[in-house]
Amino acid sequence: MTVQMSIDKQLPSTRTTELDSICLKAEVIPVIAIQRIEDAVPLARALFEGGLSVLEITLRTDCALEAIKRINEALPQASIGVGTVLTPAQYRQAEEVGADFVVTPGTTEALYRYGVTSPLPMLPGVATVSELMTGWQYGYRRFKFFPAEASGGVKALKSFAGPIPEARFCPTGGIGINNAEDYLALNNVMCVGGSWLTPKSLVEAEDWEAIRRLAREVADRFHH
């Protein structure tokens, strides 16, 4: 009982405040899979200089952790999230490389338990009200909604606001320049995530100037 009480007391204020301060910096968070380690810093720098200061680097590639280390060193002012965190072991790796927060596609009890004790805030992935309620029990108030479009999109998030109006979300999955505004118009959406900011063709061509321009357009269009 005492453990549960300490969890309830500890989490809502601290982690929610930290996540809110991160998400307030950017309405759009680029979700990035680094394929080549040499792309990491110039790509991140282009996005940052374009006005997007919160970046999510996914653990979907072999060089992801090294990429996060290098980006952290090169851009200390940026907020770096580690995405596609599936296990507490990967959560620990995110701590070790100096990330600012972690993001999960879905969430297990093991991740929720680990997140309560970690100094690194977690944005847990949920797709249903039941999953949201599980996170709520652990003290979480901020969530990733994934896969957003496939899970009901804007309509689903409007429905979530009925029973649990205090929860706020960063929807990701199927979001692009044409529908981001629909999500950001919702009261329970803090920001959106998307991979459309790093088109494969531009990254492969190392056209960092084009990515900087794209980031600038997005930052100007969706800025608070």
**Catalytic (active-site) positions:** 56, 144
Name residues whose C-beta falls within 8 Å of residue 204's C-beta, 6 or more positions apart in sequence: none
Q: How is 48-102 classified by DSSP, letter by letter?
A: HHTT--EEEEETTSTTHHHHHHHHHHH-TTSEEEEE---SHHHHHHHHHTT-SEE
Which residues make beta-bridge pairs with 101? 81
Helices marked H in the chain — which ranges? Answer: 2-23, 40-49, 64-74, 88-96, 109-117, 129-137, 153-160, 180-184, 200-204, 208-222
Q: How far apart are CA 70 and CA 128, in angstroms?
A: 36
